Structure 1
């Protein structure tokens, strides 16, 4: 009986540890109201650069921005009047795509890529259940997640071994670090607050 009880305790401890590790491994907590911006820039086969930004509220896309301007996406985009929302921050979106385009060009030269390098920069911000605000950046190169940035601490983490060259390039670029801090702690936060009004109670943390 004592052996069975001990085994049960061990299983319970392992289960709790597994749940804890699962939570720590997630970039955005599942019970958080989150806003994400996906910046993507690349070069087509014809040699022309293209840019795109998509916004998600609680992982649902509601806005798309490209060289032709802002576009509402789906029922959520229409409900939030996403085009008008985007026009308020179109300068920031353009500045971001211009910044990441220059970075992608530098990386193309660095990696000696023939057709150019697609660079994706994903920013997410959210309010925890306890009210604390968090923000992160993730950088992807040709679909591979390379770097993770905690906007609070400013710490850069290499996700893939051998990505130190990319980390050094971005971390030492003052325009990049300034843009990351400004958007994640400023623009993203104020936008999330603004979206609470039309979204109402559904934007509040709902639990897992």
Structure 2
């Protein structure tokens, strides 16, 4: 038996409204600025430590730091715009401090845990963004020798062990109040300040350009926040299908 025309019209109106809400929500999240810094610290079996930092605004690389002195350079058109901002050097100084701090923690970690052997590799990823309602949020992710170890929520300061064998690292760093406080201050304070300063440049709607510096691939899978459109669609799609069959 065919459905009444009014029932079909109501179903179409509901689906149209849902699509409109998805589009509006997706646009809001797409306009959100995300600032991330990916730090990599390595110690080969023989040789000095090496450090590398890649800064990205909405996935576009704008700063690249490398070598034992953590020299930092602007990358691409966006980087050349941001280097003219008043807090560029403050950002560079903080990134150098973070690299030195991670190096100290790696040395201490090796002393505390005899199972850690060279070569060593630590990846630290910090991201911050502003929610649609204006609230700021952020996190830290840590990867040791290719294994995801810990996640830190910037708003609460809570440490979450990711790998079952990462409890020792979580407990060691959790007890280091100075280290934990510095991480929270950087992600909640510095990162948010930089984001406010930098996002006005992003709003210029710069066209993507070829990078002037060759940089390695960066893992973008740490947080769903880095791809808000996919997150929204994955959440709304089941409801759209439900409405289609019910109404």
What's the TM-score, normalizing by structure 1? Answer: 0.76
CA distance in 2: counterparts of 1:51 and 1:86, whole angstroms: 19
Are 2:176 and 1:164 equivalent residues in the alignment? no
Contact in 2 for aligned 1:71/1:83 (Cα 8 Å): no
Q: Which runs of 4+ in 1 moved over 4 A?
A: 82-85
Instruction: Report Cα offsets for 1:118-175 as digits up to 9, x if no partner.
Output: 1111110001112111011111111221111101111111111121000011111122
Which structure's CA Rg is the greater one? 2
What is the CA-CA distance between 1:78 and the residue it aligns to? 2.4
- CA gap 1:153/1:114 in 2 versus in 1, 3 angstroms: closer
Contact in 2 for aligned 1:72/1:83 (Cα 8 Å): no
Any idea what SS the aligned residue of 2:203 has? helix
RMSD: 2.5
Any idea what SS the aligned residue of 2:120 has? coil
1:1-208 pair list within 5 angstroms: 32-66=32-66, 67=69, 69-81=71-83, 86-109=88-111, 110-200=113-203, 202=205, 208=229
What is the CA-CA distance between 1:90 and the residue it aligns to? 2.5
Q: Which has the higher contact order (CA 8 A, sep 6+)?
A: 2
CA distance in 2: counterparts of 1:184 and 1:68, whole angstroms: 19
Contact in 2 for aligned 1:117/1:142 (Cα 8 Å): yes
Any idea what SS the aligned residue of 1:163 has? helix
- CA gap 1:43/1:194 in 2 versus in 1, 3 angstroms: same
Larger CA deviation: 41-50 vs 138-147: 41-50
What's the TM-score, normalizing by structure 2? Answer: 0.65
What is the CA-CA distance between 1:71 and the residue it aligns to? 0.8
Contact in 1 for aligned 2:70/2:96 (Cα 8 Å): no
How many residue pairs end up in the alignment?
179
Unaligned runs of 5+ in 1: 2-28
Unaligned runs of 5+ in 2: 2-28, 207-226, 230-247
- Report which of the two has the higher share of strand: 1
CA distance in 2: counterparts of 1:85 and 1:31, whole angstroms: 23
